[in-house]
Amino acid sequence: MRKIGVFTSGGDSPGMNPCIRAVVRSGLHYGMQVVGIKHGYRGMIKGEFANMNARSVGNILQRGGTILKSSRSEEFRTVEGRKKAYENLKKHNIDGLVAIGGNGTFAGALALHQEYQIPVIGIPGTIDNDLHGTDFTLGFDTALDTVIDALDKIRDTADSHNRVFFVEVMGRDSGFIALISGLAGGAESILIPEMDDDVLNLIKTLNKALKRKKSSHIVMVAEGDEEGGAFQIADRVKREFRELDCRVVVLGHIQRGGSPSCNDRLLGTRLGVAAVEGLMRGEKNVMVGQIHNDVVYTPLTEAIKNSHKIDKNLFRLIDIMAK
């Protein structure tokens, strides 16, 4: 490994910049050249390559987003697009790649490896925490802090006006953000894709709350819930309880932004160094993650095929806490 490339792809997440910094500086530490590829696979196709040094990643540890920019590339999904990307990698004498992103990023990395045998190591960068092979993904911890801060503010106005707030959070098909932030933020009800009959349970909970004359209520809704988003679920509740004053808040992309937390900075640093050291040892076609505080390497095929499962023991805490 004399020259490696690093890029970010798909949705951005806090912690990507600390991870880029770690890849660049550890690569330089081990005597390699490090090339930053801008705008993900789109930049790989267009040849947006830039040599990086220690100063290239100075003062980025605390910044959200990604200095290498990100995008999604339809062209890379084609055989012709991947061929263009490979030719640019070959032109710049890239011996190995570090791909920071989520499921789609890893699918692209897997295709490159299968078609052109380029050694690739993936680093899980997504706020959704849905990737198999790691306890936490880059950005998840920061996203939780952002949601908790919003919940605390929403609680103030919910209590002041005796309202029911339906708060929709990201997560794609995973309920990690909704469940963990909902429990930590004191939400009375939580609706996630991994739970069955959650709207029926919500209606039961609201009935009990009305009998106790509870004046306000926060309902966390994961965007991938099978019953729909926060607006659809709020409409259904309004039909059942006409006396309730219901409001909807969709937190949206603010969950992706902001300065990365201490945990995300540390995780990004650790996984960035582990990716470089893995390439040096001959690891390829794997994702590097952290499980029980140990660095582990999981085949990309497994990371893509499987999903990170929620501990169902947490489900029972919802009912216990909803008083």
Domain annotation covers residue 321? no
Residue 270: is its pLDDT beyond 80? yes
Residue 303: is its pLDDT beyond 80? yes
CATH at residue 155? 3.40.50.460
Same domain, 150 and 238: yes
Domain annotation covers residue 319? no
Overall number of domains in the chain: 2
Please compute the mean of the pLDDT values over residues 60-73 and round it to a whole number. Answer: 96
CATH at residue 57? 3.40.50.450
Token pair for 33: 């050249």
- Our answer to whether residue 152 is catalytic in this structure is no
Same domain, 10 and 134: yes
Domain annotation covers residue 313? no
Same domain, 154 and 210: yes
Q: What is the pLDDT of residue 120?
A: 97
Same domain, 81 and 169: no
The pLDDT tens digits for 186-234 are: 999 999 999 887 788 899 889 888 888 887 899 999 998 788 899 999 9
Same domain, 193 and 293: no
The Cα–Cα gap between 137 and 126 comes to 6
Residue with the bigger pLDDT between 29 and 210: it is 29
Same domain, 133 and 190: no
- Average pLDDT over all residues of the chain: 94
CA angle 137, 228, 239 (to 5 degrees): 140
3-state secondary structure of 187: coil
The pTM score is: 0.94
pLDDT band at 47 (very low <50, low <70, confident <90, very high): very high
Q: What is the pLDDT of residue 227?
A: 82
Same domain, 146 and 135: no
CA-wise closest residue to 225 among 247, 196, 202 = 196
Range of the domain at 179: 140-256
Domain annotation covers residue 41? yes
Q: Which residues contact 294 (CB under 8 A, 6 or more apart)?
A: none
Domain annotation covers residue 322? no
Domain boundary among 215, 238, 256: 256
Same domain, 175 and 188: yes
Domain boundary among 256, 277, 293: 256
Lowest pLDDT segment from 16-20, 90-94, 307-311: 307-311
Domain boundary among 227, 256, 285: 256
Domain annotation covers residue 318? no
Same domain, 196 and 298: no
Please compute the mean of the pLDDT values over residues 152-176 and round it to a whole number. Answer: 93
Same domain, 43 and 122: yes
Could you tell me what percentage of the chain is helix, strand and coil, using 3-state DSSP and rounding each to the nearest 5?
A: 45, 20, 35
Which residue is catalytic, options 128, 130, 145, 264? 128
Q: What is the pLDDT of residue 142?
A: 98
Element (H, E) at 56: none
The Cα–Cα gap between 19 and 265 comes to 8
The DSSP code for 55 is G
Same domain, 90 and 217: no
The pLDDT tens digits for 77-116 are: 999 999 999 999 999 999 999 999 999 999 999 999 999 9
- DSSP of 92-114: TT--EEEEEE-HHHHHHHHHHHH
* Order of strands, sheet of 164-169, starting from the edge strand that comes earlier in the sequence: 189-191, 217-222, 164-169, 246-250
Same domain, 22 and 116: yes
